[in-house]
C-alpha cells in the first residue's frame, strides 16, 4: 500500500484526516477510482480531467496542478511496486467548523491510496450475476449533477443494501422519471438484436471511464452502439446485459428482477467486448 496526503507520501499511521474535515462531516468532496494494469495507470488523463471538472463544478480549489498530480500518482504507483492495483484519489473541502459554510475551511485535503482491489469472483464473469431494481432513485440532475463524482453516495449505498437483502450483489437504479440510470457503482449496457445500448448522459448517469472505453471498443469491433433512454422493459427483454466499472471491468448480468436475460448465460457480444477489454489493458 502507498499513501499520499497533502503533498507528501506518508506511512499508514500518518494517513489521517481531521474529524472536522467537511468531507467527513458533510460529504463535501470528490473522488476518482483508477485502475493499474501492467504497472501502468489506466486512462489517467481522462480520470484527471474528470477530477478537475468535478472540483470546478463544486467550486473546490484543488491545491495542486494537474501535471503535478499526475507525477505524484505515477510516483505512488512506482512505490506500490505491483503490476495490478487500484488508486483511490480524494479531495475534500478540508477541515473547518461545525457549520456548512465552505468558506470556513482554510484549505482542502487531498490524498490518494494505492492498494489492491477485491474483484468479483471469476465465476461471476463466467456465469453472470442477478440484479434487482432498487426503490432508491438516482439523484436528479436538477438537484446535483451526476457527472460530479462526489463523496455523497448514501442513495447508492441504500440501493446496495436493497440488492444484498434480495440476495444480489448489485442493483439497478432508476432516475426520477423511472428510466434506467445505472447500477450502484457501475454503468449498465444491454444488447438487443446485435445493437449495444446504454443510458444516455441526460438520464442521470456518471459518465464512467470504463463505459466510454467499452463504447470505443464496440466501434473497433464493428458493433453498433447507441446512448439512449432505457426502461426496465428494455432490460427484461434484452438479449444480453452487462455492467461496467473500474472495479468490475465488464460483468455479465443474466437475471433482472427475476427475469432471465437471453439464454441465462453471458452473451456473445458481452464476451467479445470483455475479451477486447482484457486485450486492451494487457497491452498497456
Long-range pairs of 205-208 with CB within 8 A, sequence gap ≥ 24:
205/138, 205/146, 205/181, 206/146, 206/147, 206/149, 206/182, 207/50, 207/147, 208/244, 208/245, 208/246
Residue 259: phi, psi to the nearest 5? -90, 130
Measured CA to CA, the distance from residue 114 to residue 36 in angstroms comes to 9
Quote the distance between the C-alpha of residue 17 and its chain's center.
Answer: 24
Under a CB-based contact definition with an 8 Å cutoff, are residues 242 and 261 in contact? no
Q: 172: which strand partners?
A: 133, 183
Residues labelled catalytic: 149
Cell numbers 440532475 correspond to what residue? 141
Beta strands, E only, 118-261: 129-133, 170-174, 180-183, 187-192, 195-199, 225-228, 240-245, 249-256, 259-260
Rg (CA), the chain: 19
Q: How many CB atoms lie within 10 A of CB 218?
A: 22
Q: 93: which strand partners?
A: none
For residue 80, give the 3-state DSSP assignment: helix
Amino acid at each position: 500500500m502507498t499513501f499520499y496526503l497533502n503533498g507528501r507520501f506518508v506511512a499508514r499511521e500518518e494517513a489521517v484526516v481531521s474529524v472536522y474535515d467537511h468531507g467527513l462531516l458533510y460529504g463535501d468532496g470528490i473522488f476518482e477510482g483508477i485502475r493499474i494494469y501492467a504497472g501502468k495507470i489506466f486512462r489517467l488523463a481522462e480520470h484527471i480531467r474528470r477530477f478537475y471538472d468535478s472540483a470546478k463544478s463544486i467550486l473546490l480549489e484543488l491545491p495542486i496542478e494537474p501535471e503535478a498530480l499526475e507525477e505524484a500518482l505515477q510516483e505512488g504507483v512506482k512505490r506500490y511496486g505491483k503490476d495490478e492495483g487500484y488508486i483511490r484519489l480524494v479531495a475534500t473541502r478540508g477541515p473547518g467548523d461545525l457549520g456548512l459554510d465552505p468558506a470556513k475551511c482554510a484549505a482542502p485535503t487531498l490524498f490518494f491510496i494505492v492498494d489492491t482491489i477485491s474483484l468479483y469472483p471469476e465465476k461471476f464473469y463466467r456465469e453472470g450475476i442477478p440484479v434487482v431494481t432498487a426503490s432508491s432513485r438516482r439523484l436528479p440532475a436538477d438537484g446535483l449533477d451526476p457527472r460530479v463524482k462526489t463523496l455523497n453516495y448514501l442513495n447508492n449505498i441504500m440501493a446496495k443494501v436493497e440488492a444484498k437483502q434480495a440476495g444480489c450483489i448489485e442493483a439497478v437504479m432508476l432516475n426520477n422519471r423511472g428510466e434506467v440510470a445505472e447500477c450502484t457503482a457501475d454503468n449498465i449496457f444491454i444488447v438487443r438484436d446485435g445493437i449495444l445500448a446504454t443510458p444516455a448522459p441526460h438520464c442521470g448517469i456518471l459518465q464512467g471511464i470504463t463505459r466510454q472505453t467499452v463504447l470505443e471498443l464496440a466501434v473497433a469491433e464493428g458493433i453498433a452502439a447507441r446512448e439512449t433512454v432505457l426502461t426496465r422493459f428494455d432490460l427484461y427483454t434484452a438479449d444480453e446485459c452487462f455492467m461496467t466499472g473500474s472495479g468490475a471491468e465488464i460483468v455479465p448480468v443474466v437475471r433482472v428482477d427475476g427475469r432471465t436475460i437471453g439464454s441465462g448465460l453471458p452473451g456473445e457480444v458481452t464476451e467479445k467486448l470483455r475479451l477486447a477489454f482484457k486485450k486492451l489493458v494487457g497491452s498497456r
